[in-house]
Amino acid sequence: MGKRMTSSWLLALAVVAAGCLESDSVNQPNVVLIIIDDLGWTDVGEYGSTFYETPNIDRLAASGALFTQFYAASSVCSPTRASIMTGKYPARLHLTNWIGGEQNGKMLPAEYIRQLPLEEMTVGEAFKKAGYATGFIGKWHLGEKPYYPEFQGFDVNVAGHAAGQPGSYFFPYENERLPWSNVPDLEDGKDGEYLTDRLTDEALDFIEANRGQPFFLVLSHYAVHTPLQAKPEASSRFESKATSLPQPSLPEFVAEGPSATTKTRQDHAVYAAMVESSDQSVGRILDRLEELGIASHTAVVFVSDNGGLSTLSGERTYMPTANLPLRAGKGWLYEGGIRVPLVIHWPGVVDTAVTIAEPTISTDLYPTLLAIAGLTPEPQQHQDGLSLAPLLTQSGSIDRAAIYWHFPHYHGSGNVPSGAVRAGDFKLIEWLEDGEFELYNLLDDPGETEDLAEELPGKASELRSLLHGWRESMDARMPRQNPQR
C-alpha cells in the first residue's frame, strides 16, 4: 500500500478534509455496507477457514484492508447494530441486549431499551442529510414500528422489521409457529426462492436505480443466523466435503466454564452452504458495480455483527461453527464472541491487500463511512467512534486508550452478566454475579487460555479501574440481585 500513497490517496484525503462534497456530483463516493449476521472471525477463507468457501469475500480482501483485531461492540446482534447506526457504545444507549432476549438467573439482568431512539442521529440520517440516496435491505432488529429504517434516515427499507431472524430462508419466508419472524415486503417471490439471493436482488435494484447519484446502501443479511437452512445442492456438496476432512486432533466439543459447551470444528454442511450464499451475494454486488461503471467510486465494507454461534449452555450440541483459535463464541465476551471480520475496499485509497492489526470496534464504522464519503460529522454524532481513515491511508494512528464491553445479561450460550476492557495487549473480563475477573495477554495468548490475574495483580487492578470508571461515565445500567435466587 505504501507504494500507492501518491496522487489518488492525496486527493481522497483532500476530499475528507474539505467536508461534504456537492451532492449532485456523480463522482461523489458511493458506500455499500454489507453486514452478515453471526459470521465468526474464522468463517472466512482470508481469516483462516479451510472448510467454508468464500472466494468473493477473499476477492474483496485482496483489494482492501483486512482488519485482524476488529471487534463487535457486543457479543449479540441488536447492541452491535445500534453501535453501527449511532457510533455509540451500547452502554451509552442503554441498548445492551438483543431485543427480546430476556433471561433471569442468579441476578435480574439490567434494564435495557427495546428500540433505537428516533432522537439518535443515525449514519443513514447523516448520509441522507448530505444528499445521498439511502437504502436499507434486510435485518434491522432495532425496534418495532415506528422505529423501522424508514424512520431512521433510509429512503428505502426492504425486509427490515423487528425480528432478528427470518421465519424461513425459503419463500414465502414464514413460520406459522413464529409469526413475528415472518419477513415482510417479499410477498411477490416464487417457490424455491432463497432469502439471501432475494435480498441481493433487492440490493442490485437499489444500486441500479441510483447509479447516477451518490448512494449509501446497507445490505444486512439475515444469514448466517438460525434457522439453519440452505440450498439442498450446496448442502449436499459440503456434506461430501465434510466426510473427506482429515481426522481431527481435538474432540468435537469441549466444556466452556461450568455449564456450557463449545464446538471445535468447522464441518457443518448446511452452515457452510449458508456462508457460500452470503459470499455469492458479495460477488454479485462487486460484479454489478463493475458492470455499471461505478466500482471506481464505490467503497464496499464487509462486516459481521458478533462472533459465530459455537457455544451453547448445558450439553446442547447443535451449534454450527467453531471460532478456534479464539475462545467460545456468540454471547460471550471471550474473543470468539466479539472479534469479527472487517474488510474495507476504498477505491483509490485501499484497493490492494492490506492487513491492519490495530484493535478497532464497530462504533468506528460510523465516522469511517462518513470519511470515505468526504462527509464531516456534526457534534454529538458517533461519540464513541473513531475514524479509521488514518489507518486506511497509513497517514497516522487512532488515539484510543482502551475498548470496552458491557453485557449485563444472561444468554443461551451459557454466558452470565459480564463486562470487559481491552487496553493494549491486555484484556480483563469481569463476571458481575460475583465480581470475579480474568486477565489475558492477547498478544501471547489470543485463545485466552492462561488467566494472569493472580500473576499480574497490578495490571488486573489497573484494567478493572478503567472498566469501572468507563461504566460510570456511560451511566451504564447494572444487573441486581434476584430476590428469588
pLDDT digit string (tens) for 230-279?
999 999 999 999 999 998 889 999 999 889 999 999 999 999 999 999 99
What share of the chain has pLDDT > 70, as a percent?
A: 94
**Average pLDDT of the chain, as a whole number:** 94
pLDDT band at 160 (very low <50, low <70, confident <90, very high): very high
Q: Tell me the three cell numbers of residue 407.
A: 453485557
Mean pLDDT of the region 19-38: 72
Identify the pLDDT of residue 19. Answer: 36
Query: Distance between alpha carbon 427 and the CA centroid of its chain, in Å?
Result: 20
Answer whether residue 13 shows pLDDT above 50.
no
Q: Report the first-to-last Cα separation within the chain, whole angstroms.
A: 57
pLDDT at 380: 80
Architecture of domain 28-394: 3-Layer(aba) Sandwich (3.40)
Q: Which three cell numbers stand for residue 127?
A: 448520509
- H helix intervals, 267-387: 269-291, 335-338, 365-373
Distance of CA 280 to the CA centre of its chain: 18
Checking if the pLDDT of 104 tops 70, the result is yes
The CA distance from 148 to 144, in Å, is 7
**What value, to the nearest 5°, has the Cα angle with vertex 42 and ends 265 and 308?**
75
Q: What DSSP state is assigned to residue 226?
A: S
Q: Where are the domains of the chain?
A: 28-394
* Beta bridge pairs of residue 170: 194
Q: Is the pLDDT of residue 17 over 80?
A: no
Residue type, 174: E
Residues 138-158: tens digit of each pLDDT: 999 999 999 999 999 999 999
* 3-class secondary structure, 94: coil
pLDDT digits (tens, 9 = 90+) for 270-312: 999 999 999 999 999 999 999 999 999 999 999 999 999 999 9
Report pLDDT for 27: 66
Instruction: Kindly list the catalytic residues.
Output: 77, 141
Please count the other Cβ atoms lying within 10 Å of the Cβ belonging to residue 472: 9
Q: What would the pLDDT profile of 359-397 be if each residue is shown by its tens digit?
A: 999 999 999 999 999 998 887 889 999 999 999 999 999
> pLDDT by residue (tens digit) across 444-455?
999 999 999 999
Percent of the chain scoring above 90 in pLDDT: 91
